[in-house]
Amino acid sequence: MHEMSLAINIVEIACQTAKQNSAKKINSIEVEVGKLAGVLEDSLAFCFHAARNETLAENAELNIISVPGKGHCGDCDKSFETDTFFTLCPHCQGFSVDILEGKDLKIKSINVD
């Protein structure tokens, strides 16, 4: 399951960061999830609850921030929001669309004690 490995990764990174800062526990972890990253947020939250057991993140909350997909058109040089990789430019109907944002999952901040 894709979300399970992501959740384990998030917990591992958070725990490493906590240890580097000699923290005793992790209060919350904030992650940015791109709309085009192919991640189901509910599923990620569910997996996080399983992955955090018996780690410093045991009682940590996972705050998921959705990042909309953003495309840029090479023909008319305009940017626009999109929720799919396969899109025409809404301004000129061009095909030269690059996806700039919304593809990634990133840890934004980790709150520790």
Site string for Zn ion, 17-56 (x = CB under 5 A): ----------------------------------------
User: Which residue, 44 or 89, is less far from Zn ion as judged by CB?
Assistant: 89
Residue that is written with structure tokens 């940590």 in the block? 60
Does 76 participate in binding Zn ion (rule CB under 5 A)?
yes
User: Which residue, 50 or 76, is less far from Zn ion as judged by CB?
Assistant: 76
Instruction: Give the angle subtended at the CA of 29 by the CAs of 26 and 30, to the nearest 5°.
Output: 160
Does 92 participate in binding Zn ion (rule CB under 5 A)?
yes
3-class state of residue 60 by DSSP? coil
Q: What is the C-alpha separation between 13 and 25, in angstroms, rounded?
A: 13
Question: Which of 29, 39, 44, 89 lies at the binding interface for Zn ion (CB under 5 A)?
Answer: 89
Does 94 participate in binding Zn ion (rule CB under 5 A)?
yes
Going 34 to 35 to 38 to 44, the CA torsion angle's sign is positive
Joined together, the tokens standing for residue 36 give: 């085009």
Question: Which of 73, 105, 110, 112 lies at the binding interface for Zn ion (CB under 5 A)?
Answer: 73
Is the distance from CB of 26 to CB of 60 less than 8 angstroms? yes
Does 98 participate in binding Zn ion (rule CB under 5 A)?
no
Residues near Zn ion (CB under 5 A) are: 73, 75-76, 89, 91-92, 94
